[in-house]
Amino acid sequence: MEVGDRDQGLSIYRRWRPRRFSQVVGQRLVVETLRRAVAQGRLAHAYLFSGQRGVGKTSVARILARAVNCLAPQEGEPCNECENCRRILSGRSLDVVEIDGASNRGIDQIRKLREEVGYVPAGARYKVYIIDEVHMLTGEAFNALLKTLEEPPPHVIFIFATTEPHKVPPTVLSRCQAFEFSPIPEQVIREKVLEIAQKEGIEIEGEAAELIARRAGGSLRDAEVLLEQLSQGGKITAEQVVELLGLPRVAEVDGFLSALLEKDAGAALGTVENLAFRGRDLGLFLEEAAARARDRVIEGDARFIPLARRLLQLRAELPRAVSPRLHLEIEILSLCGPPAGPTAEAEEPQEGQPQGDPWRAMLTAILEERPSVAAFLAPAKAELTDGVLTVRLPRDCRFHYESLLEPEVRSYLEETAQQFFGALLLVDIRWEGREDEGPSLEERAELVARALEGRIIKEGEDAGTG
């Protein structure tokens, strides 16, 4: 039985499942070694195939099971046409047994295996046991298995597949010939997606294939399943993939990276605001940004080295941040410095006023003293009219707004603003949304406060002593 039979949307995956070693995508070293071993009759009693999901472990196990039993093998490849090959391909062979280590039938199947293993194969040369997700077997099942592995009958071959080889007991590992399956490179997946699409008569844009390959994260199976799902609606466009998978747009990611390089906090924060507004996953966005920064480094652009490193680190931190958005905004500010304020652009500096851009200078100072307050202010537009500094928060920044209204934060802001804007009468904090819209952010405020606890406590101490 095919592992994927119970799942939906797997017909492309099944049709394109490799049937010969030479058809396996992206595991050249592994399949060449196995093919030669079969051709030369140098077979091990037990193999361990490790690697992430969707990289071909089970497919290769099945090819190997046929290759060792084929009546007319060609240089180690199964012919897929002889009686043995056909029986195994159709799942009717009693001599090739697949056990799913993740199912709770595992132990029963291993017990059965121990009883059967002594008998000679029914029709084939070898009895082949393929145990998928072998690390999931219970201790009891492992012990039963080990007894067989210690004195393996000559006509038995075990093929263990696992995504987590470190969970396989060393006593079992030491009796296996181990093969590590690598994640399949994006470029290779992209080409395969294009090839499959062409042969299946699916119209697809090159960029769409690229996005699918990237999203598949090294798993050809994931790419094939995605291709199948996306093909239901006619031609596959990049826009469609972006929408359906909630992926970041390439141009948007590149714009974000340029903004960070040019230390344009306003543009970088604008991107984050836009993503948040569209309900996009910031983690996915950062992953894409980190991947593209890494690509630039590989292409030889050294400016991206620290950026790529920082983005990867940030990507790892994000799931632990209670407010990923705020976490990202603080990071943008510390990478770029605060954004330029519109006030300075609109007004000529007057005598007696601080030179340059007072809003930006103020944010720089706040960023030094209290990074979270700087993050609350970062998306704001500021305007100085008749001694009133109006700070406007965009509609989707209700939390930023509410945080700035905290009495302690507000008075800190007023005091600081006095230092940077000459004759200041008032700081007017506004929000462009309506109080009655959207979910209440009180609970979130609580959570975010906890997320920022480290900084807040530190700031509290600073405020206390200074």
Write out the residues near Zn ion by the rule CB under 5 A.
Answer: 70, 78-79, 82, 85
Q: In this complex, which beta carbon is closest to Zn ion, that of residue 73 or of residue 101?
A: 73
Kindly state the smallest distance separating residue 124's Cβ from Zn ion, in Å: 10
Looking at beta carbons only, is 78 or 338 nearer to Zn ion?
A: 78
| Closer by beta carbon to Zn ion, 157 or else 448 | 157
Q: Which two tokens stand for residue 211?
A: 């996005």
Q: Nearer Cβ to Zn ion, position 82 or 424?
A: 82
Cβ-based nearer residue to Zn ion, 84 or 271 = 84
Beta carbon of residue 29, minimum distance to Zn ion (angstroms, whole number): 24
Number of H helices, E strands in the chain: 23, 8
Smallest distance from Zn ion to CB 84, Å: 6
* Assigned token pair, 314: 């940030």
> Nearest distance from residue 154's CB to Zn ion, in Å?
21
Least distance (Å) between residue 272 CB and Zn ion: 58
* Amino acid making up residue 100: D
- Spatial distance between the Cα atoms of 123 and 119, rounded to a whole number of angstroms: 12
End-to-end CA distance of the chain, in Å? 72
| Residue 243: Cβ-neighbour burial (10 angstroms; 0-12, 13-18, 19+) | exposed
Least distance CB 63 / Zn ion (angstroms): 11
Element of type H or E holding 381: strand 381-385
For 426, the token pair is 């008032």
Long-range contacts, 188-191 (Cβ 8 Å, 24+) = 188/25, 188/26, 189/25, 189/26, 189/213, 189/216, 189/218, 189/220, 189/223
Strands across the sheet containing 156-162: 96-100, 127-132, 156-162, 46-50, 177-180
Judged by beta carbon, residue 34 or residue 99, the one nearer Zn ion is 34
